[in-house]
Amino acid sequence: MKRLIYIGFDQLHRDFGVLKEAKPGEDVIIFVESQRVLKSRTWHLQRLWFMISAVKHFAKELEVEGFEVLYLKSETTKSGILEAKAKFGIDEVIAAEPHSFGLLEELKGVINFQPSNFFLTDKTEFIKWAGLQKNLLMENFYRTQRKRLGILMDGDKPAGGAWNFDKENRLAPPKNYDYPPYLEHERDLIDEEVLSELKSADLKLWGADPDTTWATTRSGALEQLSYFLTKHFATFGPYEDAMVKENWAFHHSLLSPYLNIGLIHASEVIEAVRNRYQKGDIPIESCEGFIRQVIGWREYINGVYWFFGDEYRKNNHFNLDRPLLPLFTDASKTKMACVSQQISDIHERAWVHHIPRLMVLSNLALLSGVKPNEFLAWMREMFIDAADWVMVPNVIGMGMHSDGGKMMTKPYVSGGSYISKMSNYCKGCAYNPKERIGETACPFTNLYWNFLAEHEDEFKSNHRMFQQMGGLRRLKDLPEVRAESKRILKGLSEGQI
Ligand code: SF4
């Protein structure tokens, strides 16, 4: 009997979700491009292009396999599904549960959901685990994952004698380094058609046209995985936090976009990583650092998203009210070399790695008091791998501490010294990371002290902030620093700093 199967744009895998049991020649596969979603925001062109082109390639592969595929452009996902039901005279549509509160709510009562297995951890299991914790330390969750999944374990002990190798994985950028070339993915007719359709549609778009950075097929995603394991895996760990002008990706795998739309599953990545590691020439700090990202952070962030619920995104613990700074959408609106580099990189490829996201962009948003919901919306719109479940906890909990510490025990803020140590941006910048007052004062350094002073009452009772608050107490020129902050904040809002 013919069945209707709905596939979300982030569930593009033949062996996971409802497609695993689907039968070519019998089942009809439905994709819906929601015009409301497309028109609702100013998206990065590459974000939309990547998702739509990947879906169209995937749909074509299903057709070749013998499936009847319906790709609908409809006002909303719900209206598209109702249209498909009417067309086939079939009332039941099945799908794996959506990965966002919004879509889950929209499709309730319209679709029969089955649990999604696109993550390694069932969300109800995470919620159960989280409910039993005193605090949501990622490290505790990660160790549970290592044991549960049996990854990098020697019996019940961690392989290599430690659960994490963070200390080894914080190297500053190397000098005179031989960077491997980037893997390039050729564009095909589908890619070109999707691009020209998007550019001629009535949409608000930002960012450069796609180059050869991103694949839009599963085979391209697998190539990217294999390239990472061959060229980057061994050196990934030690330099994973470093940022350099000369190389936008360094040794990062660039797999998150594919993982987050389902073209490749976390279990496949882990399996490949394990096999590669078993050859014996990959340092444990690189293997552990990578595995932590996939079975630790990624799963934890998804779990936290569901644990805290849909209202969590509205948190604004510090009552921040500054509109999004102009520099976030125009790199020419800042003289800060580190920020300008990130915005230019995002413009080119819709991607920068986790440290620029956290310690440059989120750090700046928090220190300058940008409204968390505006910064969250910007992150959702600009990154190629952004999904609601990724960005809500990462911005509200981690990046901006807007939940008051429900997720992280302290805010991730720093002055220019961290950026100076972990990058080579400061040389040649209009500002000096060591200066906190004066025309060449680094905005990060100045605003960092201003932020600590502003929230001194709250932070002085946080033992994890002990060292930072000690530094604040020793500051002799705090009144001048705070007066300077007013000028810097005004300049940031006006796009002059
Ligand atoms: Fe960024 Fe400050 Fe360094 Fe300039 S001096 S690159 S603003 S950290």
- DSSP structure string for 84-100: HHHHHT---EEEEPPSS
Ligand 1 pocket, 356 CB below 6 A?
Answer: no
Q: How far, in Å, from the CA of 431 to the mean position of ligand 1?
A: 6
Model pTM? 0.95
One pLDDT digit (tens) per residue for the chain, 497 residues: 789 999 999 999 999 999 999 999 999 999 999 999 999 999 999 999 999 999 999 999 999 999 999 999 999 999 999 999 999 999 999 999 999 999 999 999 999 999 999 999 999 999 999 999 988 999 999 999 999 999 999 999 999 999 998 888 888 988 889 888 899 999 999 999 999 999 999 999 999 999 999 999 999 999 999 999 999 999 998 898 999 999 999 999 999 999 999 999 999 999 999 999 999 999 999 999 999 999 999 999 999 999 999 999 999 999 999 999 999 999 999 999 999 999 999 999 999 999 999 999 999 999 999 999 999 999 999 999 999 999 999 999 999 999 999 999 999 999 999 999 999 999 989 999 999 999 999 999 999 999 999 999 999 999 999 999 999 999 999 999 999 999 999 999 999 99
Q: How far, in Å, from the CA of 392 to the mean position of ligand 1?
A: 27
* Confidence at residue 342, expressed as pLDDT on a 0 to 100 scale: 97
**DSSP notation for 98-131:** PSSHHHHHHHBTTBEEE---SSSS-HHHHHHHHH
Element (H, E) at 29: strand 28-34
Amino acid letter, 297: W
* Confidence at residue 180, expressed as pLDDT on a 0 to 100 scale: 85
pLDDT digits (tens, 9 = 90+) for 47-81: 999 999 999 999 999 999 999 999 999 999 999 99
pLDDT digits (tens, 9 = 90+) for 403-459: 999 999 999 999 999 999 999 999 989 999 999 999 999 999 999 999 999 999 999
Q: Say whether 71 sits in a helix, a strand or coil.
A: strand
Which residues of 120-195 form beta strands (DSSP E)? 153-154, 157-158
Q: Which residues contact 292 (CB under 8 A, 6 or more apart)?
A: 142, 164
* Confidence at residue 492, expressed as pLDDT on a 0 to 100 scale: 98
Q: What's the rounded Cα separation, in Å, for the pair 379 and 260?
A: 15
Alpha-carbon separation of residue 223 from 217, 227, 229, 234, 311 (angstroms): 10, 6, 10, 17, 39
Ligand 1 pocket, 338 CB below 6 A?
Answer: yes
Q: How far, in Å, from the CA of 486 to the mean position of ligand 1?
A: 18
Ligand 1 pocket, 116 CB below 6 A?
Answer: no
* Confidence at residue 161, expressed as pLDDT on a 0 to 100 scale: 92
Position in ligand 1 atom list of the atom nearest CA 442: 2
Residues 86 and 67: beta-carbon distance below 8 Å: no
Q: What's the rounded Cα separation, in Å, for the pair 307 and 267?
A: 23
Whose CA is closest to 291, among 264, 275, 273? 273
Residues 495 and 325: beta-carbon distance below 8 Å: yes
The residue nearest atom 6 of ligand 1, judged by CA position, is 426
**DSSP notation for 225-277:** HHHIIIIIHHHHTTTTT-B-SS-SSTT----HHHHHHTSS-HHHHHHHHHHHH
Q: How far, in Å, from the CA of 329 to the mean position of ligand 1?
A: 19
* Confidence at residue 170, expressed as pLDDT on a 0 to 100 scale: 84
Q: How far, in Å, from the CA of 324 to the mean position of ligand 1?
A: 20
Q: How far, in Å, from the CA of 419 to the mean position of ligand 1?
A: 7
3-state helix, strand, coil in the chain (%, to 5): 50, 10, 40
Ligand 1 pocket, 336 CB below 6 A?
Answer: yes
Ligand 1 pocket, 418 CB below 6 A?
Answer: no
Joined together, the tokens standing for residue 445 give 């350094």
Alpha-carbon separation of residue 314 from 42, 72, 317, 393 (angstroms): 21, 32, 10, 11
Q: How far, in Å, from the CA of 269 to the mean position of ligand 1?
A: 36
Joined together, the tokens standing for residue 41 give 């925001």
Q: Which of 360, 425, 448 to mutate to test the pocket of ligand 1 (most atoms within 8 A of CB)?
A: 425
Ligand 1 pocket, 419 CB below 6 A?
Answer: yes
* Confidence at residue 339, expressed as pLDDT on a 0 to 100 scale: 98
Q: How far, in Å, from the CA of 360 to the mean position of ligand 1?
A: 9
Report the alpha-carbon angle 340-257-371, nearest 5. Answer: 50
